[in-house]
Structures are given as structure tokens and as C-alpha cells.
Amino acid sequence: MRLQASYARIAPTDVVRLAKKTSNLFRQRAATTAPGLDVEGLAGVISIDTKALTADVQGMCTYEDLVAETLKFGLIPYVVPQLKTITLGGAVTGLGIESTSFRNGLPHESVLELDIFTGTGEVVTCTPEGEHADLYRTFPNSYGSLGYATRLRIKLEKVPPYVALRHVRFHEADKLAAAIADIAESGEWEGTRVDGLDGVAFEPGEYYLTLATWTEEASAEPSDYTGQDIYFRSVQNRETDLLTIHDYLWRWDTDWFWCSGAFGAQNPRIRRFWPRRWRRSDAYMKLLALDLRFGIADRLDRRAGRAERERVVQDIEVPVDRLAEFLEWFDAEIGMRPVWLCPLRSSQVWPSYPLVPERTYVNAGFWGTVHVGPDRVNAPMNRAIEAEVHRLDGHKSLYSESFYDRETFDRLYDGRNLEAVKRRYDPAGRLTSLYEKAVKKVEA
């Protein structure tokens, strides 16, 4: 097995990590030249069971590749994260979310079993019950600190060819939150079933919920947001819409939500000549990496006399009854818009990301920069967000910058349980701990 052979080549004193060139993480990490685990052969779909409605998938398989196979049978995973190059293993060990999360939870909640390559170089099969149930429960949000998923068996659901959309506007954040709570409980809005639910906060007083309903019939020609038209703008401009199920799943990827605007890709004159194959999140990620490497935006700011920027790229969850409070605070203290909103409910307690079961939360995603001046080295905006989310009884995903002290981090992410499980499956400490990865920025 190539994976175990590459493990054997790593010196006992070196940290075990993945040897992969791409990532959807936004953490700055220390550079390393040490060899990593060879995962090149773990990127495929193993099988799809159309009767049991399950798929066996390798850990490095992207959702783009998986969905291409499942849609042939009119099936999709319970949750399909928004970006095409997110992998199955990455979504489970690092969390993922999308519009079906208000009824299906997060990606790890539809995992029936998974094989995990541990810090000892062994592969163990984990299920909700049995010998390795502790690893199964603790693996979500562990970001490779407990091992790497090599195979996952996940549940699939049947879908028709089309998705009918309704974009419902709200002027008050508290009414927006009340609507989210009602839909999460009832599964419908004004008598119509809701299969997917997310939203956008464009400005104070301008909030939209997008209600998606799977449908067999095309009532009109489906919209295409992979060309000149841009999906997020349609949320403001259209009350209803129709997409194919494929295009609905990837509606955010073409423009990386709204972030493609930073590269000029939303300028009609530029977009016309921007190759379609480059209108996708991983292409923008490469451009962002170049900007960070050469400090292009910083140089332009200095030349224009603008204050230095702090990068604020985060996803957080707050209880739905605290959403209006968070948005009001965010407007006053951070002032970044738009904000993506995605409701979710968890079916049980997952120790490393302990949301209250059956309680409705709302994920708020915001990705951009704020001009803060020389103080940006202290990350004042990100630190303030952490403190406010904690105050509101919420949680923050760990794919980006984090600044928690160790005591707070362990309290929020059940550090005691993480340590106990790590001692069992990585007794020699070959894998970097979650705190070192998320906060100390040690190579993942």
C-alpha cells in the first residue's frame, strides 16, 4: 500500500502529514521540506449501492468527482459542501456545510463507517458502535490530528433533475431568524416543502433566504450562472429561479461566492475573456496564494495610502435565537458584507465540535479584508469575532486563523477527550495536535 510505504519512509522523529499540493484551508502554516504521506491513489469512488443508497468513497475524492458519479443514478450525498475541490475526508475531519444541513446536519453525520490511517501507521475501521467508536465520534473537526480518512461509507439521497428557488427578502434580522427557526422545525414555508435552505445578508435591513425545493418538472429554461450571469446577484434581483440539480450544488463555486470580484472576474469586460475552466474556486485560491506570496494587495494599498488590511476569513455558528444579535454586532464592529447564512441542526453530540443536538444554529460565513492599520499584526478583528461568538454560545470552524488560549480552546473543543483519543491512536505523538495546527500554525 502506497500510503503505508510512504509512512515507513518518514523518519521516526518527523511529524506525519499529508503530501498534498492543494488545500481549502486559510491558515498560514510553517513551511517544511519533510516528506509526507502519499495519498495520490486515494481519490476515487469505489462503489455506489443504488439499493442501500450508499457510496464507498476514498478519502481524497473530491465532491466534484463524487457528485459526477452519483448524479448518474439520481443520487447525491446528504450534504454537498459548496466548493468542488473539497474532499470527503477533508469535509469530515474538518467540517463542511451546505443548504441541506438544516435537515441532514454536517457531512460527518451521514457517515456510516470509515477507515482511518492513524499515527501508528495502522488502518482501523470506525463505526458508531464497536471497538473504535471513540475515534468515530471524535474524528469530526480533528483536522488530521487523529489520523486521515482513507475510505468512507456515506448515505445518499434521491434527487430529481431540477431545483426551484424562492428568494425571500426580510428587512429585520429578528424576523429572518424567526423564519429560519420555523422552516428548520416544519420543513416548509407557506405550505411548500423546503429541501435546501441558505441565505445572504447583503446590508443591514437587506436579508434574503433562498428556499430550494427539489422538482421533477422544469417550469422554465434553467438559469446558467457559469457564464456572464453571477448567481449571488440573482438573489437580490429575482424572486424565483430554476436550476438543474447539478448547477444548484455548484452555484457558489463559479464565483467563490462573491470573492471572484477581488480578481476582476465579475467585471463584464474581463469576464468575457476569462476562460470558463478558470471560473472556479480552486483557480481563485491559486491567485490568492500568489497574492499572499508576493504581497500584491499590500503593495497597492501602500501606494494608494490606504491602511493595512487584516484578512478576516471565518465561518462561525451561533444559535438561531442569537443570530440577529450577532449580525448587529458584526455590522457595528467589523462592517464586512455580504455574509452567507446557512442553518444547521446536529443529531447528536460530536465531542470535538459539541453543538446541542436538535438545536437550530446558523452558520455565518464572511471572507474578505478589513483596513485596520499597523495593528493588523495583532488580528484585532479576528480576536473580537472569537470573543463575540463565544459570548453568544456559538462555535467557530478551525479552517482559518484562530487565537484562543489553550484553556479556552480545550473548553470549546473538548480538549480532554481529544487528548485521550490521541493517546490511544497516536501514542508516539507522530501527528500534530489540533491546538498546534489550529492556533500555533504548525504544519498540518
The model's pLDDT over 380-410, given as tens digits with 9 standing for 90+, comes to 999 999 999 999 999 999 999 999 999 999 9
pLDDT for position 22: 60
Pairing of strands 339-345, 360-371: antiparallel
* pLDDT tens digits along 112-158: 999 999 999 999 999 999 999 999 999 999 999 999 999 999 999 99
Residues 369 and 355 in one domain: yes
At 48-102, the pLDDT tens digits run: 999 999 999 999 999 999 999 999 999 999 999 999 999 999 999 999 999 999 9
Judgement on whether residues 177 and 222 belong to the same structural domain of the protein:
yes
Tell me, what DSSP letter sits at residue 20? Answer: -
Confidence band for 10, pLDDT divided at 50, 70 and 90? confident
**Concatenated DSSP letters for 201-223?**
EEETTEEEEEEEEEESS-SSPPP
Computed over every residue of the chain, the mean pLDDT equals: 92
Closest CA to 80 of 335, 184, 49, 88: 88
Q: Specify the pLDDT at position 298.
A: 79
Quick check: 157 and 212 in contact, CB under 8 A?
Answer: no
Whether residue 259 lies inside any domain: the answer is: no
* Residue 344, domain member (yes or no): yes
Q: Do 321 and 197 reside in the same domain of the chain?
A: no
- What whole-number percentage of the chain has pLDDT above 70? 95
Residue 86 covered by a domain: yes
Domain match, 50 and 167 both? no
**Distance separating alpha carbons of residues 399 and 28, to the nearest angstrom:** 10
Same-domain check for residues 306 and 382: yes
Statement: residue 12 has pLDDT above 90: no
Band (305; pLDDT cuts 50, 70, 90): confident
Please determine, for residue 414, whether its predicted confidence score (pLDDT) is greater than 70: yes
Q: Residue 303 burial (CB < 10 Å; 0-12/13-18/19+)?
A: exposed
Tell me the sheet residues that pair with 340: 200, 365
Which one of 181, 216, 251 terminates a domain?
251
Report the sign of the C-alpha dihedral through residues 288, 143, 318, 79, in that order.
positive
* 444 falls within a domain: no
SS3 of 426, please? coil
Let me know whether 370 and 418 are in one domain.
Answer: no
pLDDT of residue 26: 52
**In terms of residue numbers, what domain contains 97?**
2-159+413-438
Instruction: Tell whether 262 is covered by a domain.
Output: no
Check: CB of residue 109 under 8 Å from CB of residue 98. no
User: In this structure, which long-range contacts are made by residues 18-24, counting pairs with CB atoms below 8 Å and at least 24 apart in sequence?
Assistant: 18/144, 18/148, 18/444, 20/60, 22/85, 22/282, 22/285, 24/83, 24/85, 24/86, 24/90, 24/285, 24/399
Residue 383 DSSP SS3 = helix
Residue where a domain terminates, one of 217, 251, 285: 251
Is the pLDDT confidence value at 327 over 60? yes
Residue 389 lies in a domain: yes
| CATH number of domain containing 123 | 3.30.465.10
Percent of the chain at pLDDT exceeding 90: 82
191: three-class secondary structure by DSSP: coil
- C-alpha 120/C-alpha 7 separation (Å) is 9
Cell 482513507, located at residue: 150
Give the domain CATH number at 335. 3.30.70.2520
Residue 181 resides in a domain: yes
Per-residue CA distances from 275 to 21, 227, 259, 271 (Å): 23, 10, 17, 8
Separation CA 199–CA 230 (nearest Å): 16
305 in the same domain as 219: no
User: 119 and 236 share a domain?
Assistant: no
Asked if 102 and 62 sit in the same domain, the reply is yes
CA distance 273 to 15: 44
Does a structural domain hold residue 302? yes
261 alpha carbon, distance to own chain's centre:
20
Greater model confidence, 29 or 344:
344
pLDDT in tens, 418-438: 999 999 999 999 999 999 999
Question: Can you give the pLDDT at residue 300?
Answer: 77
Model confidence at 30: pLDDT above 60: no
Q: Look up cell 475524492; give the residue.
A: 61
Query: Is there a single domain that holds both residue 35 and residue 145?
Result: yes
What pTM was computed for the model?
0.94
d(CA 332, CA 336): 9
- List the end-to-end C-alpha distance of the chain, in Å, as a whole number: 22
Comparing 195-209, 291-305, 362-376, 402-416, the range with the smallest average pLDDT is 291-305
Q: Interior CA angle at 24 toward 308 and 428, to 5°?
A: 105
Tell me which of 194, 221, 251 is where a domain ends. 251
Would you state the pLDDT for residue 302? 83
Tally of structural domains, the chain: 3
- Percent helix, strand, coil in the chain, to 5, is 35, 25, 40
Same domain, 18 and 95: yes
pLDDT at site 321:
98
**What gap in Å lies between CA 106 and CA 397, rounded to an integer?**
12
Amino acid at 154: I
How many Cβ atoms from other residues are within 10 Å of residue 122's Cβ? 12
Do 6 and 155 share a structural domain? yes
Q: Report pLDDT for 301.
A: 75
Q: Would you place residue 11 in the very low, low, confident or very high pLDDT band (cuts 50, 70, 90)?
A: confident
